[in-house]
Amino acid sequence: MSAVRGVAQAASKLRIGIIGAGGNTKLHHIPKLQAIPGVEVVAIANRTAESAAKAGEPFGITKATGNWRDIIDDTAIDAVVIGTWPYLHRTLVLEAFRAGKHVLTEARLAMNAAEARELYQESLRHPHLVTQVVPSPITFRYDATIQDIIRQGTLGDLIYVEVKGLSGTFADPEGSKLTWRTDMRYSGLNIGVMGIFYEPLQRWLGEALSVSAKAKFVVKVRTDGETGEPVAVRIPDHIDILADLAIGAQAHFVFSSVIGAVPGQLKGYTLYGKEGTLHLDLDAGKLLLGLKSEGGHLKEVSIESEKSGAWRVEEEFVGAIRGTEKIQRTTFEQGVRYMEFTEAVTRSFQSGCTVRLPLVS
């Protein structure tokens, strides 16, 4: 972004349009954008004008439409927040670029790696426009502390990383309804919470170099909520992934929405090094460290207040538009890397083969 444009944006009111007012948009994006001085959320587009009006009512937003083009084509709108499911991300981002609008889009960035690469390459052709993907927030509080521990070499060379994302609930009965997360038509190759958990690992350790995955389809048929017809499920509800990380460690991920009565932690990370083990228990909200030099006993790590991260997605987006900061979480380039991992997982369990990264398109 040029300095002149940044100053101009900072001096004038920033007008933002919403396309897709889902849960995250109503919980975070709209109220937190409205709390920023000089920012106005002027319009909402949803599937219907009625649902858009209903979403806008608690926030005093009266301009509502059932057509996303009304937002894109409104020359008074400077930026768009895309809160739709992934199936519309490519279309909406490209149209926003065409209309000269900044873009904040919900994760995941796209349906697959090819779409993600296309959006990133197109963003490079519009360097004056700010682009951001809503980041995975599950480790914000711990990120800086974990990065410090790794950077200082406290754990020594990493050997093994374990990642768990379990629902702790038994499988739904056959015939339960499809949701967008279980419907490949809307979510693409994104599998449950996999991307939400992989993204923080990228922040700490960098990329995976190879992926080998096995998947299970426990609930094989679900009901289409619109037609009432049975639909074969194409997104697995249980998956195990082995990966080699560029940092030198081997990683094991397990994600499941179909196993209940789990005797232990449901969600978290464990990093095993030659000199220590770091364990993040997301269920209990604790970061634990066990050092070889201290007998290997896990002790809770205190999170210093100045290093405790928090959600500030909307502030970062507006700050980048105004030229006062750069997008850190999450850039389109980072979004491409996690979409390549996502696609590699699908390619692996479908083929039964190990898939190397980065992908060869």
pLDDT in tens, 309-330: 999 999 999 999 999 999 999 9
- Taking residues 275-285, what's their average pLDDT? 98
The 10s digit of each residue's pLDDT in 154-185 is 999 999 999 999 999 999 877 688 999 999 99
pLDDT per residue as tens digits for the range 239-279? 999 999 999 999 999 999 999 999 999 999 999 999 999 99
Quick check: pTM over 0.85? yes
- 4 pLDDT exceeds 60? no
**Domains detected in the chain:** 3-137+312-330 (3.40.50.720), 143-309+339-356 (3.30.360.10)
Distance CA 359, CA 115 (A): 13
Is the pLDDT at 293 greater than 80, yes or no? yes
pLDDT in the model for residue 123: 98
Q: In what order do the strands lie in the sheet with 79-82?
A: 63-65, 39-45, 14-19, 79-82, 102-105, 131-133
In the prediction, which pLDDT does 172 show? Answer: 83
Task: Give the per-residue pLDDT at 11.
Answer: 52
Residue 121, H or E segment: helix 113-124
Question: Cα(121)–Cα(90) distance, rounded to whole angstroms?
Answer: 12
Mean of pLDDT over the chain = 95
Q: For 326-355, how does the pLDDT look when each residue is reduced to its tens digit (9 = 90+)?
A: 999 999 999 999 999 999 999 999 999 999
Distance CA 351, CA 328 (A): 35
The residue ranking higher by pLDDT, 117 or 174, is 117
Characterize the bridge pairing of strands 299-300 and 230-232.
unpaired
Residue percentage of the chain with pLDDT more than 70 = 96
Q: How many CB atoms lie within 10 A of CB 348?
A: 22
**What's the pLDDT score for residue 12?**
77
Band of residue 7 on the pLDDT scale cut at 50, 70, 90: very low
Residue 1: predicted pLDDT: 41
Mean pLDDT of the 295-313 span: 97
